[in-house]
Amino acid sequence: MTPVWKFHFPTSGLWCEKMKGFKIFQRVLILILVSLSTFYGGYNLGKRGYLIEIKKNPPEIKILNRSPSSKEIDFGKFWEVWNLVSTQYLERPVDSQKMLWGAITGMVNSLGDPYTSFLPPQVNKVVNSNLNGTFEGIGAELGLRENQLIVVAPLDGSPAKEAGVRAGDAIVEIEGVSTLGISLNEAVSKIRGDAGTVSTLTLMRGNEAPFTVMIKRGVITVASVSWEDKGDGTAYIRVSRFGNETNNDWDKVVSQIDMGMSELDAIILDLRGNPGGYMASAVYLAGEFVKGKQPILYQENALGEQIAHETDRVGEFQSIPSVYILLDGGSASASEILAAALKFHVKATIIGTKSFGKGTIQDARDFSDGSGLHITVAKWLTPDKIWVHKNGIEPDIKVERTDEDINNKIDAQLDKALELAKEI
């Protein structure tokens, strides 16, 4: 007889317990895998700068790119490029801090305003030092005119001025590299440097052929205000910038004039080559001459709202019969504010050449890492509400300084002011 095999499959006891344990293990494993997938997906979305908004009714997941305004701006592209550069650029690792500063700089430069700029810490330090009156470099205020890098003004006592650099000179090359398309921040970072090192610039002056100057950088300390007794009751006051110490320097000079001159009939205020600085300082100096509460300038914001900046100081020069102001193409910003105010309120006579023409106001912000932002927030108008931006202030008496005059140290503009002062 063929044997019949019978197989018995137990349905209880230890085997059932094992089956239950296996099923529990399966559920736990699935839960872990789902949790890991959710965590990894959320981590990557969060890393890319996204927000996950969960709506309960009806339940859905909505992904929104971070946006600084209500406009539909997709920042996903920014993070996509950032990640690609960070992970695939040949010369890795990349400098993330440098990339961040570069991104901010590019964003600010896209506005097309040469006076709105982001300054990395080292550049910001140099800019602040310039206003304080002590800095290392060649000592020249830079600007952009029709996308061309120019010298607004070489500062008094600076290596740039000693090397013959003049206001209005175009800088076409820095260290042999073209400045075409360069930003002010880039120019500053290339030209600045430690005292004793050399900066090589290629300049153009008017329609002349380009020429190269080698300027040895130095430590420059310049008083923002100085003066001379020119005799016959005439005081000559030179203001080279409107910085942190200008008001104090001005007060010292005013005190010295009061004590040192028994007769004061005329003041010659020299603002040539003064690139400007703090607006509040220009208002303060104007108050030395202007009687009563008067507007020194109007500040107009993006909405067209105008705010008067007034002075009600009781200054020492409010009874001076004659005031003469020297201007040139290097006189900008706060220099133009002061000149326009004195021309309007005390009938000051402006001598020289047309000023630079900078009619906007910048707010300076310093950040905790040492970087800074200069952002154009308004335009300024003269007391008769004229905007001089890109137009400058025309002199009442036009007097040019020729190359021959400069070489022979003849100052025809100052001589003209002295001539008029003596006719009082």
Report residue 354: phi and psi, to 5°.
-60, 140
Q: Which two tokens stand for residue 193?
A: 């440097």
Q: Shortest CA distance to 276 belongs to which of 366, 362, 397, 347?
A: 362
Cα(282)–Cα(274) distance, integer angstroms: 12
Q: Can you tell me the distance from the alpha carbon of 395 to that of 327, in angstroms, rounded to the nearest whole number?
A: 7
Catalytic residue among 199, 358, 413, 416: 358
- Residue 148, classed as helix, strand or coil, is strand
Under 8 Å between Cβ of 323 and 350: no
Cβ-based neighbour number of residue 207 at 10 Å: 5
Instruction: Report d(CA 333, CA 278) in Å as an integer.
Output: 9
C-beta separation of 332 from 357 below 8 A: yes
Query: Which residue in this structure is represented by tokens 């002199």?
Result: 395
Q: Is 333 an active-site residue?
A: yes
Catalytic residue (one of 333, 335, 355, 371): 333
Q: Is 77 a catalytic residue?
A: no
Asked if 421 and 348 touch (Cβ cutoff 8 Å), the reply is no
Does the annotation count 358 as an active-site position? yes
Length of the chain: 424
Percentage helix, strand, coil for the chain under 3-state DSSP, each rounded to 5: 30, 30, 40
Number of other CB atoms surrounding residue 48 within 10 Å: 17
First to last CA, the chain: 151
3-state secondary structure of 123: helix
User: How far is the C-alpha of 23 from the C-alpha of 233, rounded, in Å?
Assistant: 107
> 90-99 — which CB contacts under 8 Å span 24+ positions?
none
For 107, phi and psi rounded to 5 degrees?
-60, -45
Q: Which two tokens stand for residue 353?
A: 């050449």
Which two structure tokens, joined as six digits, stand for 50? 């996204």
Tokens coding 137: 């470099």
DSSP 290: -
Read off the tokens for 65: 């790119």
Cβ(151)–Cβ(171) below 8 Å: yes
Annotated catalytic sites, by residue?
333, 358, 362
